[in-house]
Amino acid sequence: MTPDFTLFFLLAFALTLAARLWLKFRHIRFITAHRNAVPADFAARIPLAAHQKAADYTVDRNKTVIFTTLLDAALLIILTLGGGLAWLHDFWAARLDGLSYGLAMIFSLMLLSGILDLPVSLYRQFVIEARYGFNRMTLGLFFGDLLKQTLLGVAIGAPLILVVLWLMGAMGPNWWLYVWLFWSAFNLLAMFVYPTWIAPLFNKFSPLEDGEMKSRIEALLNRCGFRSSGLFVMDGSKRSNHGNAYFTGFGNNKRIVFFDTLLSRLSPPEIEAVLAHELGHFRKKHVVKHIIVMFASSLVLLWLLGQLIDAPWFFNGLGVPAQNTTLALILFFLVMPIFTFPFSPLTSYLSRKHEFEADTYAAEHTAAADLSQALVKLYEDNASTLTPDPIHSMFYDSHPPAAQRIARLQLQEKPA
């Protein structure tokens, strides 16, 4: 079966790569074709210059994605059929064994990926983001963040990897179930720990000051029956001019966080409407549904890995003559994105459906016109394109196109 699986892998690889590149080039052509005219629904609210800026910004970002897609594809072939992973195995197997070998293998690949990604990240931040006036980050802050992320990755990732590899080797044929239980528990714990212990390592979180804004938000929370552990403002402006708001945490440890850039650009009624949208995700149980889907899919994937871990054709077909749990784990997660790519429209559809539901909830508890106006401002301030390619959007966009969201909100506007 080895030659057959190699051909199957190469066919899936080629089709997925071609589809991703086709979608990106199609997206760029579509945006460029609509660059010189603001869509009719936005003509009175978005200047042509802002629309063109969003088009150019989106095109430049997608050109970078094309480059990284080709780079990732080349790296995958080099590591698998090119013999890179086999060489790495021979190198570490001659020096280490057991869990230390597994840790060295996985961290070596993470280091390689980080080195290749570094120039792209620098270009994205200090060329593209700076070109369009979004970058506020210094080189010192960039590398400071990178150091913190690396240290956290080692401090958290090393024990996590060791436990997973130990479970894979010690729990017999049903190891995948034990790994899934551990992985699920770890993710739930991370939701509790992140707001209090990890996020403050990168940003300053200040309690929202008393005033009209806080009073409106507290009244909204009371109307919606939502309890949080606090309202906070994050100093997002020290890195970027992009604005946002989000929930973080889980259970009684939920926090509502506003970027300082968002508060400076939206009026109190508009901020209230944006928050009502986020509350809609909570009330419609979107977060819980997302967690259930994530846990269910991880269970299926781990079960599938459990069926492949003892199959020589899986290793040999991907260019790795050796066979062990570490290599199985690495190979599986290297190639799985190729085979899961066709499901992207389904996950994007579910996400966009949740966004529409959250918009509807917001329109029931605040003025739909306020949310509509807030979205228009955010699209303009963040240089989000108003004319995405429909097929590209179907695969990649977690949020509905601007025209669809605004049109639905206009239908929900209540008479004065």
Residues catalogued as catalytic? 278, 359
HSE value, Cβ hemisphere, 13 Å, CA-based, for 263: 20
Sign of the Cα pseudo-torsion (227, 233, 239, 244, in order): positive
Nearest-angstrom CA–CA distance, 178 and 8: 31
Q: Are 202 and 147 in contact (CB under 8 A)?
A: no
Nearest-angstrom CA–CA distance, 25 and 326: 37
Q: Which two three-digit tokens encode residue 369?
A: 């016109």
Nearest-angstrom CA–CA distance, 330 and 319: 13
Query: Is 290 exposed, middle or buried, given 0-12, 13-18 or 19+ CB atoms closer than 10 A?
Result: middle
Nearest-angstrom CA–CA distance, 48 and 245: 27
Q: Are 366 and 220 in contact (CB under 8 A)?
A: yes
Interhelix angle for 286-308 vs 325-340, to 10°?
Answer: 120
Which of 334, 336, 247 is CA-nearest to residue 300? 336
Which of 50, 42, 31, 29 is CA-nearest to residue 403? 42
Nearest-angstrom CA–CA distance, 303 and 117: 31
Location of structure tokens 């996950």 = 347
Location of structure tokens 């669809």 = 404
Nearest-angstrom CA–CA distance, 242 and 54: 13
Nearest-angstrom CA–CA distance, 358 and 352: 10
